Amino acid sequence: MPPDTGARPAESGLVFACIAPHGGLAIPEACPPESASLAEATQAGMAELARRFDDARPDVVIVLTPHGIHVDGHLAVVVAGRAAGNLDDEASGISLALEVDRELAAGILDELRAAEIPALGVSYGGNDPAEAVMPLDWGSLVPLWYLGGRRDPPTRVVLVAPARDLSVEAHVAAGAALASAVSVSGRRAALIASADQAHVHAADGPYGFDPAGRVLDDRVVSILREGRLGALRDLDPRLIAAAKPDSWWQMLMLLGAIGEDWRSELLSYEAPTYYGMLCAAFVRPAGG
């Protein structure tokens, strides 16, 4: 990745937003030769997201991940000093070590609590959070491989986990609180909803086959193509339960953070195995 050089534009706030997958197929060098080309549309979509990310020049990247720590009834915000991990095993070479923007993480926690959204700061290992290293889950590592994690120096991160036992509106409100924290921080922030779609596309997959998977993924694709992000609120929880996505909660937070004025652009969608993968970019309105 290119070094981060040159003067930064003056404006702050959210300057980049996207939906990105986190399946290992998104990274060709992480795959055995026989599967490296299974998700070429996704790989191209991620490369385009990376180009737009670099153009936006964020100071920090916020990842909404479904595969980090899970806390009953609470969103979780990582407050450790660093996050590091590898994909599957160290021999793959797919590993990252990143600095956490602890000041922004604390600001997000403050805004969530002010909005009366249950949230906790979480760390790992060392008793002093500033010196602790949080394991980097694949829901964060895969998108960060393309979006900031390999810059020189790597872009600082904030990692946030949703809480599936909280309501739709709580997640939308959480996204609004997150955006408010970014706004007052003076940061230029990128926001990634790390989201694999339905997980029931193949009978031999871990969750079997259910036609609900295609129904849900088609609806999400239509929502993005038609620029109706607010329609995510109206998805039927029974459909969500049947289709088993890792996406709805993070996308609801994205909706809360950027509202419905940002223009959505679907870059790719495919389901080459049992789960669907989707890349979407969002363009901030002029003057926004």
- Read off the pLDDT band of 134 (50, 70, 90): very high
Q: What is the pLDDT of residue 288?
A: 64
- Read off the pLDDT band of 7 (50, 70, 90): very low
- Read off the pLDDT band of 90 (50, 70, 90): low
Radius of gyration (C-alpha) of the chain in whole angstroms: 18
Q: What is the pLDDT of residue 89?
A: 61
CB 162 within 8 Å of CB 118: no
Instruction: Please state which of the four CATH numbers 3.40.830.10, 3.30.413.10, 3.40.50.300, 2.40.50.100 is assigned to the domain occupying 16-283.
Output: 3.40.830.10
pLDDT tens-digit series, residues 15-59: 999 999 999 999 999 898 999 899 999 999 999 999 999 999 999
The number of residues making up the chain comes to 288
Q: What is the pLDDT of residue 169?
A: 98
Q: What is the dihedral of CA 29, 68, 229, 107, to 10 degrees?
A: -120
pLDDT at 166 over 60: yes
Indicate the pTM of the whole model.
0.94
Bigger pLDDT: 215 vs 91: 215
Peptide linkage before 153 cis (omega within 30 of 0) = yes
pLDDT at 1 over 50: no
pLDDT tens-digit series, residues 148-158: 999 999 999 99
Q: What is the pLDDT of residue 25?
A: 95
Q: What is the pLDDT of residue 187?
A: 96
Give the separation between CA 247 and CA 175, rounded to whole angstroms: 14
Q: Which two tokens stand for residue 277?
A: 């993968």
Burial readout 209-247 (b: 16 or more C-beta within 10 A, e: otherwise):
ebebbbebbebbbebbeebebebbeebeeebbebbbbbb
At 282 the three-state DSSP class reads strand
Run of H or E residues at 181: helix 168-185
pLDDT tens-digit series, residues 259-287: 999 999 999 999 999 999 999 999 998 86
Q: Which two tokens stand for residue 127?
A: 């008793």
